Amino acid sequence: MPAKRHAKASAAGQDGLLLLQSQALAQEEAAKAKRELLTRFLKDKLAKEQHSSTLNLHKLNVQWQAILREAKAKELRQDVEILSQTFARVMDCKNSAIESLVTDLQEAEEQHARALRSHLHNVDRLLQLQSCRLACLEDGYSAQLRALQSEFEAERYGTG
């Protein structure tokens, strides 16, 4: 009987060992399934994070571009304002130069008109002087002509 007991004990030990092996195998398979599940979960989470990172990077780039665009627009507005003020100053300067030239031109035209009137007055006086001189010369000529005519007449009738 002791051999039966020993066989029973040995069979029970083997059953226990098999039971323990099957439990260990089941635990190992459960752990393996759990690791696969955890790996899949982490891979999904990593993919979601990468997608979120890409999306957030795109949003960040869009916002950064908007900020840069706004800063550039502000800078360009300031440049336009400065150029506008510079243009206004240049226009004022040119307008004052034009006004000065117009004033100078008006003064030159008035001076020309005065000089022309003076010249015409002097020409009129010279014409009057020339007319008087010519009249005097004509009177002298007429007087000499009459004197010569009377002398000629006197010689003609006196000798004849």
pLDDT in tens, 120-148: 999 999 999 999 999 999 999 999 999 99
**Rounded to whole angstroms, how far apart are CA atoms 129 and 121?**
12
DSSP state of 160: -
- Predicted confidence at residue 4, as pLDDT, reads 62
Overall residue count recorded for the chain in this entry: 160
- Predicted confidence at residue 20, as pLDDT, reads 86
> Mean of the pLDDT values across residues 90-101?
97
Statement: residue 160 has pLDDT above 60: no
Q: With a threshold of 0.75, does the pTM exceed it?
A: no
> Mean of the pLDDT values across residues 70-89?
97
> Mean of the pLDDT values across residues 3-21?
74
Positive or negative, the CA dihedral 79, 83, 84, 85 is positive
Percent of the chain scoring above 70 in pLDDT: 93
How many alpha carbons fall within 13 Å on the CB side of residue 30?
6
- Predicted confidence at residue 18, as pLDDT, reads 85
The tokens for 22 are: 């099957």
- Predicted confidence at residue 66, as pLDDT, reads 95
Mean pLDDT of the chain: 91
- Predicted confidence at residue 8, as pLDDT, reads 67
